[in-house]
Amino acid sequence: MQIGPYRIANRLILAPMAGITDLPYRNLCRQWGAGMAVAEMASSNPALRATRKTLQKTDHRGEAEPRVAQILGAEPEQMAQAARFNVERGAQIIDINMGCPAKKVCNKAAGSALLRDEGLVARILDAVVRAVDVPVTLKIRTGWDPAERNAVRIAKLAEDMGIGALSVHGRTRACGFSGQAEYHTIGRVKQAVRIPVIANGDIDTPDKARRVLALTQADGVMIGRAALGRPWIFREIETFLATGVGSAPPGRGTIYATMREHLLALYAHYGEFAGVRIARKHVGWYLGQGLDADSGVLHTFHAQESARQQLAFLAELFDGPRQGVSG
């Protein structure tokens, strides 16, 4: 898959997820085989641009190419300014969020709410593409609601406006994350445009990835929630697509090493106070998905108040007595 001057290493993309796909997690997923990783969305509101939170979201230091920033907003000139700001911060691809279904986003007419106003979509895309000299991509849903799946029209419009690739989540804005993703609309989008199309939604196993690629003929798949606590899903899918044979899940030692590396990166990126608190949700996902940990183990980990305590707890959990964890 080619996006502008960037040849993506494989067909597997880490989806942008608010509060999750920060620099430490993007780097980790790239190490585990993601061909590209998209940063969590950053608001185009200029009042928020210099805040610590935005600067952390837009930090790409040491990140493998291509470095992808996602911007969110509903005002064309603000979106153009946000695109320039992110390029100055090191982004090599700008992704526009028109796929988020969250009420706090849609109530401001941003995210997937924009799909209801195709004229505004066109103005935003035109403004952003003109503002920067890097590729601009777009993430959308299949439409506003099941009665108005306009993804094909949006895709054609995006291609005409110079968008370099398109990610499509197989639900409408009204569906949120409920029900099952449908992929027929994504297939119709792929047939309608010449730019790369990436399928997204409920892709949680290697076999599902292969089936979605076959059904949609998409150029790649985007993995989101299935990667929580399971960054090795990218390596599993990559191996299965290449060989048709499933790979064994990582052993306890590999899981421990991955978790420890992730926590150390969080402490370095956010500082110890915030890093310790952010680590809790990630460790919850690791222990819930990678290992069969009981609630007592999670509760005890969440009570650890320092980086030293968290790391010591994990070391004992994996190297010491195995009560509370199986696998």
Could you list the active site residues? 100
Distances (CA, A) of 37 to 59, 161, 248, 313, 325: 13, 24, 24, 30, 31
Q: Which of 87, 84, 91, 2 is nearest to 38 (CA)?
A: 91
Could you please report the per-residue DSSP string of 257-311? Answer: HHHHHHHHHHHHHH-HHHHHHHHHHHHHHIIIIIS---HHHHHHHHT--SHHHHH
Query: Which element (helix H / strand E) includes 40?
Result: strand 36-43
Alpha-carbon gap, residue 42 to 170, rounded angstroms: 23
What single-letter DSSP state applies at residue 322? -
Contact 13, 34 (CB under 8 A): yes
Measured distance between the N- and C-terminal CA atoms of the chain, rounded to whole angstroms: 37
- Pairing between β-strand 36-43 and β-strand 165-169 as defined by DSSP bridges: unpaired
